Homo-oligomer: A and B are copies of this chain.
Amino acid sequence: MKNIITLPRPAYIISSATVAGEEEFSGPLGESFDFHSVDEDTFGCDTWEKSESEMQRRALTMALSKAGLGNDRIDCIFAGDLINQCSASNYGLLSFDLPFLGIYGACSTAAEGLLLASSVCSSGLCGYAAAVTSSHNASAERQFRFPLEYGAQRCPTCQWTVTGSGAFIVSAEKADSCPAVTDILIGRAVDAGISDANNMGAAMAPAAADTLIRYFEDGGEKPDMVLTGDLGYEGSSILCDIMREKGHDISGIHADCGLMIFDREGQDKHAGGSGCGCSAVVLGSVIQSNLRAKALKDVVFVGTGALMSPMSIQQGQNIPGIGHLVRIKAEV
């Protein structure tokens, strides 16, 4: 079993674009998103599921435009989301009429898509590939918990599914000031015995730790920043504890997209943000711009996901977590 997979040549992230909801726009990173809702997160659509699809369509449209590419240049889109049968992606990206591979990694989907897009570009199978993902708070509440109208109560370890979509265009052709993916590590599903669907952070943290330990013990160097997807307060603290215990203290360099996206004091989001869109919009906005500006030089991004379904929870199964790793450097 391989741990670190070094790409034969770097895969450049030549553009990224982000679409966010109103709550996300009100948060600390709000100004860095390319587009945000002004119509209560409907994005002009009559169902939440269609709104989520529309976010993906807009994100990819903007990413293509920023890259100066017509649709006809993209050889493959990797896309996925949290909705049953990944339908937000299936419908949202239909109008591009492009080769399409659906992926499912729960909230780790942004990392999975970037990992696969980088792989096919680096190996020369594709010239340009796109990675797109999304989540929408209202469609996720309907899918996994209760429709918003039910007004269910939330406990302190609950995370808030981010309304957002991020799209990334990748190519092996070097482009000025574009950060590059240099190596990847594919996560393993880890069942740490958590069965509480209101504590995803605890379910995902052991998987993120498994990935990072495999990475460091296979010779991966410590980066400037270890950026996890959506562990939130609970999961981030568990991750740092496990890593310290295993001799790889990351507490000084760890950041989590789920912690960055909302203001803990001012926005009542409990344990932080989550969802495929959470890491996609943070990575696609402030992290990309900092890498481009060389304010950040070397990021190990671990997208984290909880691989359960509402039915698996009802049937009493535990919640396996997974963490996929993508190393992104500002200069290669």
Q: Flag if B98 contacts A188 (CB, 8 Å).
A: yes
Are B85 and A106 touching (Cβ within 8 A)? yes
> Across the interface, which residues of B come within 8 angstroms of A112, CB to CB?
101-102
Q: Is A205 an interface residue (CB 8 A)?
A: no
Known pairs A2-B75, A116-B116; A186 contacts B311 (CB<8 A):
no
Question: Which one, B1, B73, B100, contacts A74 given CB within 8 A?
Answer: B1
List of B residues within 8 angstroms of A82 by Cβ: 85
Residue of B nearest to A312 (CB): B87
User: Majority SS of interface residues in chain A?
Assistant: mixed
Contact A90 B308 (CB under 8 A): yes
Complex contact A309–B84 (CB within 8 A): yes
Question: A125 contacts B308, CB within 8 Å?
Answer: no
List B contacts of A235 (CB < 8 A): none
A1 x B104 contact (CB < 8 A): no
Q: Is the CB of B101 within 8 A of A1?
A: no
Q: Are the CB atoms of B76 and A320 closer together than 8 Å?
A: no
Whole-angstrom CA separation of A85 from B185 in the bound complex: 22
* Contact call B127/A309, Cβ cutoff below 8 A: no
Tell me if B189 and A90 are in contact (CB < 8 A).
Answer: yes
Q: Is the CB of B101 within 8 A of A116?
A: yes
| B187 & A84 in contact (Cβ 8 Å cutoff) | no
Select which of B85, B119, B322 is within 8 A of A104 by beta carbon: B85
Residue pair B124, A320 in contact (C-beta under 8 Å): no
Task: Indicate whether A265 reaches chain B with its CB closer than 8 angstroms.
Answer: no
Which residues of chain A from 176 to 191 have any CB-CB distance to chain B below 8 Å in the complex?
Answer: 185-189, 191
Task: Specify the chain B residue showing the minimal Cβ separation from A3.
Answer: B99
Q: Does A97 contact B (CB under 8 A)?
A: yes
Tell me, rounded to whole Å, the shortest Cβ–Cβ distance linking A244 to chain B. 24
Chain B residues contacting A310 (CB-CB under 8 Å) are 84
A191 touches B94 (CB 8 A): yes
A123 touching B124, Cβ below 8 Å = yes
Check if A158 is an interface residue, CB within 8 A of chain B.
no
A319 to chain B, nearest CB (A): 10
A322 touches B123 (CB 8 A): no
Chain B residues with CB under 8 Å of A293's CB are none
Shortest C-beta distance, A196 to chain B (Å), equals 17
Question: In the complex, are the beta carbons of B99 and A187 less than 8 A apart?
Answer: yes
6 interchain residue pairs of minimum CB distance: A123-B123, A99-B186, A85-B309, A90-B307, A102-B104, A87-B309
6 contacts between A and B (CB under 8 A): A84-B85, A85-B104, A86-B104, A90-B189, A100-B186, A119-B123
Could you tell me which A residues sit within 8 Å of B by CB distance?
1-2, 5, 7-8, 47, 49-50, 71-76, 80, 82-87, 90-91, 93-94, 97-106, 112, 115-116, 119-120, 122-127, 185-189, 191, 307-312, 315, 317, 320, 322, 324
